[in-house]
Amino acid sequence: MFHNIKLGAVAAGIIALSAPVAQGSEFINILTGGTSGVYYPLGVALSDIYAKGIDGARTQVQSTKASVENLNLLQQGKGELAFALGDSVKYAWEGNAEVGFKAPLGKLRAIAAIYPNVIQIAALSDTGAVTVADLKGKSLSVGAAKSGTELNARAIFGASGLSYEDLGKLEYLPFAESVELMKNRQLDATLQSSGLGNAALKDLATSQAITFVSVPAEVAESLGAPYVAGMIPAGTYEGQTADVPTVAVVNFLVTHEDVSEETAYQMTKLLFENLDTLKAAHSAAGGISAEAAVKGSPIPMHPGAERYYKEQGLM
C-alpha cells in the first residue's frame, strides 16, 4: 500500500475557487496545503466532485500551511473539510501547545484515514550514516519548525532514544533548501516526510552520492497509530540499490462537529465513489481505500461518515 506514493512539499497560501453551483445553501471550504504539494490538487478534485454531487453545494479550496493551520481553522469553523497528518490530528485533539494547539480541539471529527506520508532521511554517503542512530553528531535539517514533517522528526527521534541535542547541528529548513545545502556540503542529512519519488530528493540523488538512512520497524511499533512501518523500495531514487525500512504516517480527512450529518455522509460517500478522479489528480490517491479509512483515527468519527461505513459493512 505504501509503495507508489508521490507526495510533494507543502507551502503557503492562496485561495482558488472551484466552479460553484448557483445560489447553493451548503458551503464547503476545503483546507489543503501549498499549491506544489499533494493536498492541494486532491482538494481541487474533491471540490469539483462535491460541487457536482452535493445538491446546492458551493465549494472553495484554500491553500494553507497544511496540517496544524488546517486543524486550528476547522476548530474555528473556518472550513468544512481539511487534510492533515495523523500525528498532528492526535496533538490537536490532546491540545499540545508545544506544537501549535493552545487548547484541545474538541470539535474535530474524522471523515477518513487516507494515504500515508513516508519518512525519508537522506545522508551524504561519506558521512557513513546508515541507520537513524548514526545521525548522532551529524548536521540534519528536519523541515520547517512545527511543520508536519518536523513533528514526525521529533516523534522518530524520541522513539529511537535520541533527541535534537544529540545532533552536531540542527536546521529547520524546507525540502529544497535542505538539498541545496547538502549539494554545497554544508549539511550532512535531511529528513523529509512526503510521498516516494519526492522531487527534492530525486534532484539530490542525481547530483550527490547519498544513503537513505533506515528507521527500524520497532520505532513504528513503539509509536503506534497513526505511525506504521514503511519502506523506500529499491530503485525509488538514483543509486538506491536496496529496500530501506522506515516509518510512514497516515494522512486524514477531517471535519468538525457542526457540519451536518448529511453533508459529512455525502462528502464520505462521494470520496469513495470518485477514487479514479482523485488518482487522476495525484497518484498518492492510489493509497486510499474504504477498508483502511476506518482504522487508526486519533479522533471520533463524524456520525455522517460512520453512517456511510456502516452501510458498507466496514463498521
**Distance of alpha carbon 154 from the chain centroid:** 15
Q: Tens-of-pLDDT digits for all 315 residues of the chain? A: 434 333 333 333 334 444 333 334 789 999 998 776 788 899 999 999 999 999 999 999 999 888 999 999 999 999 999 999 999 999 999 999 988 999 999 999 999 999 988 999 999 999 999 999 999 999 999 988 878 888 999 999 999 999 999 999 999 998 889 999 999 999 999 999 887 777 789 899 999 999 999 999 999 999 988 899 999 999 999 999 999 999 999 999 999 999 999 999 999 999 999 999 999 998 889 889 999 999 989 999 999 999 999 999 999
**Residue whose grid cell is 482504522:** 295
Q: Are 188 and 137 in contact (CB under 8 A)?
A: no
Residue 165 to residues 139, 169, 213, 227, 281, Cα–Cα distance (Å): 11, 8, 19, 24, 41
For each of the domains in the chain, give its residue range(s) and CATH number, in order of start: 15-116+251-311 (3.40.190.10), 117-249 (3.40.190.10)
* Planar angle of CA 138, 140, 144, nearest 5 degrees: 160
